Amino acid sequence: MKIETAKRWFLWHKWTSLICTIFLLMLCITGLPLIFHHELEHVLEEEKVAEIPEGAQKKSLDELAAAAEALYPGERVRYVYWDEDEPNKTLFDVAPRPEAPYDSSKYVVLNDYTAAVLDRPTTDGVMNFILRLHRDMFLGIGGMLFLGLMGIVFVIAIITGVVLYGRIMKKFDFGMVRKYKSRRLHWLDTHNLIGIVTLAWATVVGITGIINALHDVVLFAWQQGQLKEMVAPYASKPPLEGQYASLDSALLVAEKAAPDMKASIITYPGTMFTSKHHYGIFMKGKTELTARLLMPVLVDAENGTLTDARKMPWYVITLFVSQPLHFGDYGGWPLKIIWALFDLATIVVLITGLYLWVARRKAAKMQWSRLNEKIEEYDEA
């Protein structure tokens, strides 16, 4: 590699690293507890078990939804959720209107057998604060897109770092750390070694982070694409008013349309994941991988008949796969521990990178100061 070319690669690596380092440090520090967010939530929040009275029968979804709405007079359910880790429970999102902003939502968890209130989750917890900071720095879509841009800059820094390390390793043994040289060289070699060891992980997390930052863009593309096609026959019809068809019957229709899947979320008419005329019932697979992939089934909320059911387009599937991979949420504890170790190693890379930049600037200032002193001595002589 020519010297001029090497300098250009070095400048690209230096400035891309400096631009994104502070934000990456924030993402790595907040990402560490998010790797274990399921486990930490169980520790930080009191979990109530859904007790099943002897001989009790499961309540219908319609009964549970009515019980949730009764807790907040004048408001209606707009989303229904299930969590496999919390059996015999159903979570309802109740709001003044379907299109109301998320901060107006009230959440309530009901026992499937007794309709008793088990919990009223809020978004004020520690884990939600960390997630918001990690996801968009409390700046909404602007913050998400900015962090996505920092992800792109990070990937460029990785590529330029690999090119530079390859040039260095032509002269030295792979993994070399010059312990007995200057402190700066010691930390430079440590920085390079840890950086190359974490290369694959950092690339995966960086790319999946960029994809996740496009969450709202992907949602908009799906709304304007597949969803719009699915509800096209209803485009000229007025929004539904009054009572909707039974939730239970709509769920049966969805299960019949996707017999090898199970319901994960039900969205009410008027919400962003469906039309003003349909229940959007999102079905998921039953394996570790397919459980991450949702399939929308649209059921006419007026008469309870099937309107359409389609597999999600590739760009939505890419997002669904990227979200859990970003946090190592695929292989249970072993993968989470590996993700956490690499996260800590990346924090070391970022801190040593900052140290090297500061040390280099100090060294340059000292050299310049010494040069000025020699010039002054020469002038005095």
The pair of structure tokens assigned to 284 is 């998921």
Do 338 and 320 have their domain in common?
no
Give dist(CA 333, CA 338) in Å, integer.
9
Q: Which residue segment(s) compose the domain that 357 sits in?
A: 3-39+129-212+332-380
Do 165 and 285 have their domain in common?
no
Q: Which amino acid is at 351?
A: I
What is the end-to-end Cα distance of the chain in Å, rounded? 44
- Please return the burial class of 300, using the count of CB atoms within 10 Å of its CB with bins 0-12, 13-18 and 19+: buried
Task: Give me the pLDDT at residue 41, please.
Answer: 79
Confidence tier at 27 by pLDDT (50, 70, 90):
very high
Do 191 and 299 have their domain in common?
no
Do 228 and 201 have their domain in common?
no
Last residue within a domain, chosen from 308, 326, 344: 326
Last residue within a domain, chosen from 306, 326, 346: 326
Do 219 and 294 have their domain in common?
yes
Confidence tier at 300 by pLDDT (50, 70, 90):
very high
Give me the percent of the chain exceeding a pLDDT of 90.
Answer: 60
Element containing residue 284 per DSSP (H, E) = strand 278-284
Would you say residue 346 has pLDDT above 90? Answer: yes
**12 within some domain:** yes
pLDDT per residue over 168-220, tens digit each?
666 766 656 666 667 777 777 778 788 888 999 999 999 999 999 999 999 99
Instruction: Please give the DSSP secondary-structure letter assigned to residue 47.
Output: P
pTM over 0.75: yes
pLDDT per residue over 234-274, tens digit each?
988 988 877 899 999 999 999 999 999 999 999 999 999 99
- For the beta sheet containing 278-284, the strands, ordered from the edge strand earlier in sequence to the opposite edge, are 117-119, 106-111, 89-95, 76-81, 262-267, 278-284, 294-300, 306-309
Do 354 and 259 have their domain in common?
no
Do 150 and 235 have their domain in common?
no
Do 224 and 369 have their domain in common?
no
Do 155 and 283 have their domain in common?
no
Do 255 and 319 have their domain in common?
yes
Last residue within a domain, chosen from 326, 350, 372: 326
Task: Give me the pLDDT at residue 298, please.
Answer: 97
The pair of structure tokens assigned to 299 is 């059921």
Q: Average model confidence (pLDDT) for the chain?
A: 87
Instruction: Please give the DSSP secondary-structure letter assigned to residue 279.
Output: E
Q: Between residues 380 and 204, which one has the greater pLDDT? A: 204
Do 340 and 282 have their domain in common?
no
How many domains are there within the chain? 2
